Chains A and B, each alone.
Chain A
Amino acid sequence: MFVELKDVYYRYQTGEDYILKGINLQIEKGEFVALVGHTGSGKSTLVQTINGLLRPSRGEVFIEGREIGKWESPIQVRKKVGLVFQYPEHQLFEETVFKDIAFGPKNLGWSAQKIEEKVRQAMEFVQLDYEELKERSPFGLSGGQKRRVAIAGVLAMEPELLILDEPIAGLDPRGRRKLLDRINWLNEEKGISVLFISHRMEDAARRAGRLLVMNQGQIMLQGSPQEIFAQRDSLYEIGLEIPPLNEVLWQLRQKGYGVRTDIFSIEDVEEEILQHWRGFRCSKI
């Protein structure tokens, strides 16, 4: 078990309402988990307890079987669990792209040689050209590039779990697709576990092996995307929508067509609808 949360409660001040109410969660090495929930459901608070930025008011967080407070220093936990905040490009501050990405590794006390190697590698991970960009100012880059620099800043610390809080918010469709593909690649090729936060189902649906749905500080549903999307009505009730493709299938089913609802690539859905349509016509003739 890489990460384990046991009955975690969190509130900012005693006397206030709990923002997290009894979270139990496990993440294995190499998993791709998506955390979905509407605004204010506690998603961002939850992930901050995983890398020790927030200490739970009650309950325990274990990283590699060791309680988070029992690590020698918080920095070691933060090296294992990399957290990319919302709009991470807003935290860039150095004069050059290289220096900004090297900030994390430097805090880890690595040698100059190792830092350079890791920065180069992190930039390659997010498809930024090292030679071309290393001496450029991060503030002169495009929005998508800035975001990738910021993500590289976390990747350069070689985290084993990468948490991304709404990483594709505010990007155009192409930027979104490219970044999602890259995150997928990091998970599949580099074996980095990923916890992906989003309030939109379709971002996470196809790539995640497991979906967590949060509502009012609790994990309400948990399971494979298929299992989750089958519960369209309860999702709808807490203000979430299933991806448009699944909504189409679901509507068809409501109208009495016996289509499957547990598929989510556009090709599969097309095939399913066509098959039904053909079958429908043939039986008529």
Chain B
Amino acid sequence: MLKNITLGQFILRDSLIHRLDPRMKIMITMLIVIGLFFIGSFWGFLVAGGYILTVISLSHLSWKVVLRGLKPVMFIIIFTMVIHLFFTRGGVVLLEWGFLRIESEGFFTGLFMAVRIMLLISLTSLLTLTTSPIQLTDGLEYILNPFRRFGLPAHELAMMMTIALRFIPTLLEEADKIMKAQQARGADFESGSIFRRARSLVPLLVPLFLSAFRRADDLAMAMEARCYRGGEGRTRMKELSMVGRDWMALGFSASFVLFFIIL
């Protein structure tokens, strides 16, 4: 049950996309995300879809892996589409059946919204699929660094993210173990009404939180024992540096954004 969570999964491949500088990848992703909200036409979406397909093929990942990231949000996508379909008014009436009425405006807005969400999700999951968590947080730290002047703890935020990502599998494993232990005492996590099921999570969640706190405590102690005191004066073994292909990627993506906004 807990095994199909692919949140923030990274798949190592040797590809152009994997080798790009993480800062550039984050910035390009932001650029495209913003761009996606300005698309107003069918052709724009088609071009944006083409862009994402190009990136997928360049990343040497199978499109199935990327599509898998859409599964958890499928409900939201369908929900948005249905709401727009029936409740957005305007344009010609396409279908009328009792009190239900579908108008062309609703049809197109719903469709565009659904496509937009799908493109957004596949784009962002492409970012995490091709960038290791360490690179990702490193890149974020660099990008956030200028804001330190205004009191933003960039290094600390990045460190928190690294640690959180690092402990996802550990906590999943722990949850599995506790679940089994409670099942051995006759706990039932799978049947009953929704209230019963929510209540049955207490024997799982209490020990899980306790162990998370225990781990956090141990980790903090271990970090202090190794003289960790935040980002002040820290140097790195691997400095990030932008090279030609990074700027080319930016140019390529920016022209795409321009193109699909205009369309």
Contacts and interface: CB of A to CB of B under 8 A. Distances in A.
Interface string B174-213: 0001101111111110000000000000110011001100
Contact of A85 (B184, B202, B206, B211): B184
A92 interface: yes
Nearest to A85: B181
Nearest to A81: B184
A75 B186 contact: yes
A219 interface: no
A107 B187 contact: yes
A82 B183 CA distance: 11
B183 to A, nearest CB: 6
A91 B211 CA distance: 9
Contact of A93 (B183, B186, B207): B207
A157 B186 contact: yes
The range of chain A's interface size is 20 to 34
Interface size range of chain B in the complex: 10 to 19
A107 B186 contact: yes
Nearest to B177: A85
A78 B181 contact: no
A99 B165 CA distance: 35
Interface of A is mostly: helix
Interface string A36-57: 0000000000001001010000
B212 to A, nearest CB: 12
Contacts of A51: 184
Contact of B206 (A48, A75, A78, A93): A93
A78 B178 contact: no
A79 B186 contact: yes
B181 A91 contact: yes
A121 B219 CA distance: 40
Interface in A76-91: 78-79, 82-85, 88, 90-91
A154 B177 CA distance: 16
A62 interface: no
Contacts of A103: 182, 185-187, 203
Interface in B204-253: 206-207, 210-211
B184 A53 contact: yes
Nearest to B183: A53
Nearest to A75: B186
A167 interface: no
A134 B16 CA distance: 63
Given A74-B183, A93-B203, A107-B187, 17 more contacts: A48-B180, A75-B188, A78-B184, A78-B186, A83-B184, A84-B184, A85-B177, A85-B180, A85-B181, A90-B211, A91-B182, A91-B203, A92-B207, A103-B185, A103-B203, A107-B185, A139-B210
